[in-house]
Amino acid sequence: MKPGQLCEFAGCLNPAVHQAKIGHPLEGRWCCQECLDNPLGVQEDTEVKRLGRKIEEKQKFLREMRHEIQSQIVEHQNEILQAIFDGLKTYKTHPKILLDREMRNGKNDLEEYLTKKRLKVEDPSYLALGSWTCLASPTGSCVYDHINDPVKDCCIFCGGPEERK
C-alpha cells in the first residue's frame, strides 16, 4: 500500500486499510473498512441481510449442538467402556463362539488366551470399540485392548482382528 492510499471503491475518499481478498467483490483493491464490509453499498436493512443474520444464528446453533452431541457420544462411549471393564475379569466367551473360532484358527486354548488378554486390561481407557460384529461381545461389536494390542489383532471377546479380508 502506498502512503496516503485512498479507498479504491467508487467515490470513497476514506483512507485505505485493507486489500480485498480473492472472491470478494473488490478483489485486489485497496479499500476502507466500511467498503470492505459493505462492497455493494447497501445502507438499509434488507431482506438479504435479515436472512443472512438468520443463517448465522442457525449456524451458531448447529455448532453448539454438534459440540453438545459429540460430548454426549464420548460420555456414552466411556460408560460402555467402564461397563465392559467392570465385567471383564469374570466374562466367559460362549462355547459355541470358541468352538467356531478354534476350528477356523486351529487353536484349542482360545478361552485361556482370551482370559489372559482380558486380565492385561488395567483400565477402561485401555479399551477401544471396533467396527466388526462380535457375537461374543456384550456390545455386539469387537473390543480391543489398544494399549497392549495397538494394531488390534485380537478382540478380547472373540479373538478376531480389526483388519479382515
71-99 pLDDT, tens digit each: 999 999 999 999 889 888 788 777 777 77
Q: How many CB atoms within 10 Å of residue 151?
A: 10
What pLDDT score was predicted for residue 121? 92
| pTM over 0.75, yes/no | no
pLDDT at 89: 77
Cell of 15: 483512507
Comparing C-alpha atoms, which of 20, 55, 26, 19 is closest to residue 41?
26
Contact 37, 25 (CB under 8 A): no
- Residue 48 grid cell: 438479504
What tens digit of pLDDT does each residue of 21-48 get? 888 887 888 888 888 887 776 666 778 8
Structure-block grid coordinates of residue 105? 484358527
